[in-house]
Amino acid sequence: MPIAKISPSMLSSDFASLSAEANRMVKNGADWLHMDVMDGHFVPNITIGAPVIQSLRKHTDAFLGKLPFDGIKSRTDDFAKAGASMYCFHIEATNEPEALIEKIKKAGMKVGVAVKPKTPIDTVYSLVDKIDMCLVKELREKFPELDIEVDGGLALDTIDQAVQAGANVIVAGTSVFKAENPKDVISTFREKVNTVQKS
């Protein structure tokens, strides 16, 4: 199983102090920073876009993982130029996943695929050798070396279930940003992943 990667979700940060919040997470042990990019197409929400990421990139060397929900409609080149390290798209948002994977790689980013809970997991099996990460729980046994991310509601009282299911990339927002001691939370998440790896 790949090593633990703890990725605080910047969606839970104080947007008025984005660079300070990013560096606070890195200083507290974060491996990656998770940027939820929602543009009102795949989901109704609107969050941040490439200009914000470009501004943030000037203030941190952290691995910036992106989750643009809009699939092939999103401008992958814009995110690459802004400094995104990874572009993670929902498999449900495109009819041409292989073409999108190739486009992301040509733009110089790593590729991640996200899968909704009701989507059959075998939908991504044919793509696994072309991607760097998958955001879903059910793949660990079949693909032991793949980075598998879990995002949504992860906290100290829910981390065990995600780790036991095979996740090694942990995206957590409120539980890290609002913690009295973010370093302890990040450290605990990492320890949980590493304990399962050794067992």
Residue in 31, 70, 147, 151 annotated catalytic: 151
Do residues 59 and 87 touch, judged by C-beta distance below 8 A? Answer: no
- Judge whether 36 counts as a catalytic residue: yes
Q: Which of 36, 78, 122, 160 is catalytic?
A: 36
Residue 158: CB atoms within 10 Å:
14
Q: How far apart are CA 4 and CA 81, in angstroms?
A: 27
**Closest among 109, 113, 62, 54 to 85, alpha carbons compared:** 109
Residue 62: Cβ within 10 Å count: 19
Active-site residue flag, 151:
yes
Residues with a known catalytic role:
36, 151
